[in-house]
Amino acid sequence: MPGIRSGITMTTSVAANTRKTPWAWILGTFFGSGLLKPGPGTYGSIAAVLIWRLSAFFLDLTRPQLTILTLVFAILATLAGIPAASRVARESGQKDPQIVVIDEVAGQWIALLFAAPIWKHYVMALVLFRLFDILKPPPVRQLEHLPRGTGIMADDLMAGAYALICFVLIAHFAFPNF
């Protein structure tokens, strides 16, 4: 009887790893942008910037309204991203799969919080975020050790916070009337 039970468990385990939960994979890969190569994280960040810029343009938002919308985007991406990243990680059998880019999306929106919808601002926010996401200064790398989706998301949120701080400092001195 133990042999049969092991066989069933093994089969179930293998079957569970081949199944994909559609909502988690759609959100986790941010509508497939995480499937692009090379550098899926950069594609996720670019997708976030494009959505942010298009929202600013089509909704004709004031700077305070854009900041609030960006914060809402970041919060929603984080709240949806933690369970989505957890599920994709489990189903893919990887601790932090590169295809999961919802974390980059949330972090990028943090970096864009105080940006104006002008190309110098959003390009600078993109470059700063990617720099901190790749270099992972403390405590960014340490946050990766948090469990499951929380660890996948937290390091990018911190990288976004670092990028935001640098963005504000640079913009204050480089762009009059920031």
pLDDT of residue 149: 94
CA neighbours closer than 13 Å in the CB half-sphere of residue 109: 26
Residue 3 resides in a domain: no
pLDDT, tens only, 55-70: 999 999 999 999 999 9
If pLDDT is split at 50, 70 and 90, which confidence band does 178 have? low
How many DSSP H helices and E strands does the chain contain?
A: 8, 0
Predicted structure pTM score: 0.87
If pLDDT is split at 50, 70 and 90, which confidence band does 136 have? very high
pLDDT, tens only, 91-127: 999 999 999 999 999 999 999 999 999 999 999 999 9
Residue 35 resides in a domain: yes
**In which domain, by residue range, is 89 found?**
22-174
Alpha helices in 19-147 (DSSP H): 22-28, 40-59, 63-92, 102-111, 119-135, 140-143
Residue 143 resides in a domain: yes
**What CA–CA distances, in Å, run from 170 to 103, 114, 124, 161, 165?**
24, 12, 9, 14, 9
As for how many domains the chain has, the answer is 1
Residue 15 resides in a domain: no
Residue 83 resides in a domain: yes
7, containing H or E segment: helix 2-18
For residue 145, give the amino acid letter: H
Residue 156 resides in a domain: yes
